[in-house]
Amino acid sequence: MADKPTSGEILGVPYNFERPSVSRMLSSYWKPGEGMLVEKPFGVGYTLNLANWRSWVVVLVAGALLYQQETSDSETDDREDDAADEPVEVIVDDDNDD
């Protein structure tokens, strides 16, 4: 049986399943002069090139969105806790207009 290739491209998406070294891992995330996306050092697809300023904008926006979601979730939980402590008035209309 033939050995399967450990790196290559499928439908334009790169893959690499070779055992990564520490230097290859570090150098793959910092490539000055390259675009915002670079091939992953291990796995399928692309990752952010941290030497490109656009990648830092993406990281900051993602962090801001995550922070906003976490704070809105905690505020929603606080409001739900307050609402659970208050009594609820239920009005039942027994008028049968049949």
Tens of pLDDT, residue by residue over 45-86, are 999 999 999 999 999 999 999 999 999 887 766 666 666 677
**pTM beyond cutoff 0.75:** no
DSSP 18-66: SPPPHHHHHHHH--TTS-SEEE-SSEESEEE-TTSHHHHHHHHHHHHHH
Q: Is the pLDDT of residue 98 over 70?
A: no
